[in-house]
Amino acid sequence: MKTPISYAVSLDEQDKLASFRNEFYLQPDTIYLDGNSLGLLSKRSEQAVLKVMESWKTLGIDGWTEGDYPWFYLSEFLGEKMTPLVGAKTTEVIVTASTTVNLHQLLSTFYKPVGKRTKILCDELNFPSDIYAIKSQLKQKGYDPQEHLVQVKSENGRFLKEEDIVQAMTDEVALIILPTVLYRSGQLLNIEYLTKEAHKRGILIGFDGCHSIGAIPHYFSKWDVDFAYWCTYKYLNSGPGGVGALYVNEKHHGIEPGLAGWFGSNKTVQFDMKHDFIPAETAGAFQIATPHILSAAPLIGALEIINEANIVKLREKSLSLTTYLMNLVKEELEEFSFTIGNPTTDHTRGGHISLEHEEAARICKALKAEGVIPDFRSPNVIRLAPVPLYCTYEDVYETIRLLKDIMVNKKYERYENKRNIIA
């Protein structure tokens, strides 16, 4: 390696966030770079789950209103703890359901086709589940997705041009759904700019924040974003299948949700058991069913850690780690036909790096065999996410050293160039 490991060691010694690494369960001889798919378990999250289980064990039904974290108010409690990460008011965020369920809720609420405004605008690089939900909502309202779903094209299969998105904001568009960060390439869109342009044209706009919340500071209220939704098991470390979350701008509070359910009720009358739905006056109105308490519990500890670390400082370290990673790729792997498939400028890059290679699937398998946990995305992307809470500069250095060894000695040839069931 041209750059000595001593440089990585010195960066780790200067890292003011280094102590948070001790909060997580890290496996010996393993470098975990897949936190953009599933974050690691923290000790505080584990303890939070045990506390909630203790409430169930000792309080039974009274756990809904008693104990350290009363379940009846847990969704609102966690939503409030999440507001610093998304730049929202405490009444604008609720922790509930899952990403796709929340998208269905928001689509059914805010997609109101009128006259020639019948189309939903998104992009061709969006995560498939979002597209499935959008198409199904169009069909529910009697519209053909082939005609009424507009997907902005990408010139290179990696990035979107924001001017192309704006150009597609025609007077036939009723609603816009976009990712904050593209899941393959890691491109970070200019959320504030796109929101302003949508509103100039009288169009509501919402964002999928799955690949940015917990990695990048957002200011949804200041930017006047209409709504957003995201998962919590990536950078927020809530665990597999962890509960989702959503944001609804306060200007839309009071609108009856498209999908009503009793946990969206005003809490003061919820247990009156009347058949007339009285929604909450906050984002809580967009809840549908009883919260998944045991899936939400890990967030208690996870959000505590993230807020202590501070999302702005986490972003600074993330950018530093990914810059270091890209520099090492350029220095050490130039001869092996890797392409950096993510934006290289800080203000357009999310929390992960996308390396493209025709042998990507088998290279990922070889990395895993060497103790590095990457992420493969079809057809040729190796995603590497040095999460600032628990990854180090030395982790990055060692990853590139091992990757170079894999390429020099063609260790990847031991494996089939085909993804596993879960990539």
Annotated binding residues, written as ranges, equal 99-100, 127-130, 208, 211, 233, 262, 290
Take residue 90 and report the two structure tokens written for it: 């405490």
Q: Nearest CA to 102 among 280, 237, 349, 291?
A: 291
What separation, in Å, do the N-terminal and C-terminal C-alpha atoms of the chain show? 29
Provide the CA 323 distance to its chain's centre, in angstroms. Answer: 21
Take residue 375 and report the two structure tokens written for it: 């992420």
CA distances from 175 to 180, 200, 202, 230, 371 (A): 16, 13, 9, 18, 44
- SS3 call for 340: strand
Helices (H) and strands (E) in the chain, counts: 13, 13
Within the chain, what is the greatest distance between any pair of CA atoms?
A: 71
> Do 356 and 342 form a contact (C-beta atoms < 8 A)?
no
Q: What is the DSSP letter of 324?
A: H
Binding residues for pyridoxal 5'-phosphate: 99-100, 127-130, 208, 211, 233, 262, 290
- Pairing, β 381-384 against β 173-179: unpaired
Q: Is the dihedral of CA 302, 306, 309, 314 positive or negative?
A: positive
Q: Nearest CA to 147 among 119, 175, 182?
A: 119
Give the bridge partners for 205, in sequence order: 176
Q: Nearest CA to 20 among 49, 48, 53, 45?
A: 45
